[in-house]
Structure 1
Amino acid sequence: MKKVDLKQIFELVFRQCVFIIVNIYALSKIFGGQFYMKGKLPIEVASTTLEEASSFSLAWTFMGHSYSYILFVGITQLIGAWFLLWNKKKLLGVLILIPIMINIIIFDIIFLDVYPALVNAIIVFLMLLLILFFNKEKIIEVIQGLTNFPIKSKVLIKRRLITFGITLLVIVLIFTFDSFIEQWLGASKEKILE
């Protein structure tokens, strides 16, 4: 008789639970059911001044103001959730969903006083972490492959230092140019306003 692999069963259950929960939230975003959409504010929210508005009302109105942003988040959630269904793509799905869930958790803690949504986001996040934990060998292998650079000679070290120096110089030049353009555009904007 074959031994039952509980780790595999739990991982599959977590993947399916996250898939269902994330799809519900993603589709509610895409179809306009999660935030106060522009032009469809509840009367009590629309008649409240910014100073009197609750954190929840401000956050929900702000998030609902841009359908393009909502669409981006919803589609990204759907992509991550659907990747969980395929064994070879599941870790990519987890890596897509973890930053989204961290953002949702932080957003809920800072702006919202709706604790069931926060608890739900934390549970989804924990299931994603458990999926990673169940695949720790693969993740360790990938991390080692990405970070295990053999240093064979002093010439190689010297070449890396030169490359690092040139890269750093280019980054400084790009940021300097960017700051100059921002200042120049900002200064020309001020002249127009005067």
Structure 2
Amino acid sequence: MNKSNYKVTLELVLRQCVFIILNIYAISKLLGGQFYMKGKIPDEIANTTLGEASGFSLAWTFMGHSYFYILFVGVFQLLGAWFLLWNKTKLTGVLILLPIMVNIIIFDIIFLDVYPALANAIIVLLMLFLILFFNREIVKEIVIKLTNFQSKTSVPIKKRLITFGITILFIVLIFSFDSLIEYWLGASTEKIIE
């Protein structure tokens, strides 16, 4: 086997490992095996006051409060993992999974004291970065195409100022509309602060 074949084989192994690990976690989420869901909170957790609850109990209960959130994370973990199986969609899979894994790692560091889960998430994140590294030429081309905004003509300062002014006006209008909607729906600063 030459060097190129080793790289291809290693990348395939990484993609399949991430696929298996994230399918296990995602299916566990979707079937209610992760988080304390409404009606399924263990008695010792349900009878604990907020002040006495551990970070793990608070976080696990909070995450389980919304099945839609669990569904969102689980489905996107599955989607990203399945995209890793095909060469044409592998980078899309990595793009979907990177923010999910970073969020999981930050969440685990801040709230949970379950270090095997944190280690597992970090390993998955490192495997995703290795997949990007093995495809660095393609990633480099994509980044260059997305960030190459060379203008063939110089825009006069007056036109730039007008564009800037219109942008500021739209920002003010959007925030005003948002505030008006919040007012109509009854959202108040007291509710937010409490």
Aligned position for 1:12 = 12
| Contact 1:151–1:157 under 8 Å retained in 2 | no
Distance 1:92-1:38 versus aligned 2 partners, 3 A rule: same
Q: Which letter maps to 1:51?
A: G
- Tell me the TM-score normalized by structure 1: 0.88
Give 1:156 shift: 7.7
Give 1:69 shift: 1.1
Superposition pairs of residues 81-120 of structure 1, within 5 angstroms: 81-120=81-120
SS of the aligned residue for 2:98 comes to: helix
SS of the aligned residue for 1:154 comes to: coil
The CA distance in 2 between the partners of 1:171 and 1:97, in whole Å, is 31
Give 1:47 shift: 1.5
Q: CA RMSD in A?
A: 2.3
The CA distance in 1 between the partners of 2:61 and 2:165, in whole Å, is 46
Q: Is it true that 1:3 corresponds to 2:24 in the alignment?
A: no
Q: Identity over the aligned pairs, expressed in percent?
A: 74
Distance 1:44-1:189 versus aligned 2 partners, 3 A rule: closer
- Tell me the TM-score normalized by structure 2: 0.88
The CA distance in 2 between the partners of 1:77 and 1:159, in whole Å, is 45
| Contact 2:105–2:122 under 8 Å retained in 1 | yes
Aligned position for 2:54 = 54
SS of the aligned residue for 1:87 comes to: coil
Distance 1:92-1:157 versus aligned 2 partners, 3 A rule: farther
Give 1:164 shift: 4.5
Deviation per residue, 1:32-63 (Å, 9 max, x gap)? 00111110111211111111111101111111
Distance 1:47-1:183 versus aligned 2 partners, 3 A rule: same
Deviation per residue, 1:136-186 (Å, 9 max, x gap)? 111111111111122222248876664454233212221123224434654
Q: How many residues align structurally?
A: 189
Gapped regions of structure 1 (runs ≥ 5):
none
Q: Which letter maps to 1:182?
A: E
Superposition pairs of residues 164-183 of structure 1, within 5 angstroms: 164-183=164-183
Distance 1:158-1:83 versus aligned 2 partners, 3 A rule: farther
Deviation per residue, 1:116-138 (Å, 9 max, x gap)? 00000000001001111111111
